[in-house]
């Protein structure tokens, strides 16, 4: 499948799970992230965000109000060994988004806990439409090993499909070898590679 994210809706087939390759020097990653969040139009009622190095407040601040705030926003704040003092301090700041809550996963190496928490949110409310953003797989890969992250993503993408949700996952290809990137790519219906300003479909 090959598709281009389109916030205006329409008849285009839309993948449930997208891998967003965002290199270190890419300046438009936040805009593309926002576009993917609203890629199914305005029917999404729950924004589910995972953030590792960035604080919840900083991550939410990266979004503009293009698609309107969803009825509910949940931020899952994952602690990593490389987390900066600034990011940790920012966790207590006012989020600036209505109906936003923060939950914490104390250890980025505990992918089972993170996966269980995400699955609970994906299946929590009948009739709720969820958009998931995971920022980022690179942080999880630096905290643990490729095999564990592969299995985590494999299970999570299936949960996204079962919940009729949509999700995108950030990965910085600049900090991983090509084999690692290729291993993760095979799990996704669509890969948006900002290095080429294009979309690769599987």
Q: In the chain, how many domains are there? A: 1
Q: What is the pTM of this model?
A: 0.84
Structure tokens belonging to residue 19: 């891998």
State the DSSP code for 44: -
Q: Which pair of structure tokens corresponds to residue 85? A: 């003092």
Whose CA is closest to 27, among 194, 151, 147?
194
Residue 1 belongs to some domain of the structure: no
According to DSSP, the residues that pair with 181 across neighbouring strands are: none
Domain that residue 56 falls in: 17-201
Is residue 71 within 8 A of residue 99, CB to CB? The reply is yes
> Does residue 12 sit within a domain?
no
Q: 6-15, 50-59, 114-123: which has the minimum mean pLDDT?
A: 6-15
CATH of the domain at 127: 3.40.50.300
193 lies in a domain? yes
57-96 residue pLDDT tens:
888 877 655 556 778 889 999 998 765 544 544 444 567 7
């Amino acid at each position: 499948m090959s598709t281009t994210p389109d916030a205006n809706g329409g008849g285009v087939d839309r993948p449930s799970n997208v891998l967003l390759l965002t290199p270190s020097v890419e300046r438009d990653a936040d805009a593309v992230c926002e576009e993917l969040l609203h890629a199914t139009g305005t029917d999404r009622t729950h924004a589910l965000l995972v953030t590792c190095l960035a604080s919840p407040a900083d991550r939410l601040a990266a979004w503009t109000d293009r698609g309107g705030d969803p009825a509910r926003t949940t931020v899952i704040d994952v602690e990593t060994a490389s987390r900066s003092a600034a990011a940790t301090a920012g966790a207590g700041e006012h989020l600036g988004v209505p109906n936003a809550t923060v939950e914490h996963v104390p250890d980025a190496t505990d992918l089972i806990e993170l996966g269980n928490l995400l699955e609970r949110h994906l299946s929590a409310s009948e009739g709720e439409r969820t958009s998931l953003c995971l920022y980022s797989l690179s942080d999880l890969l630096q905290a643990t090993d490729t095999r564990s992250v592969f299995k985590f993503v494999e299970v999570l993408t299936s949960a996204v499909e079962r919940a009729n949700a949509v999700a995108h996952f950030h990965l910085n290809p600049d900090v991983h070898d090509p084999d690692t990137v290729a291993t993760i790519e095979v799990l996704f219906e669509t890969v948006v590679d900002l290095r080429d300003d294009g979309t690769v479909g599987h």
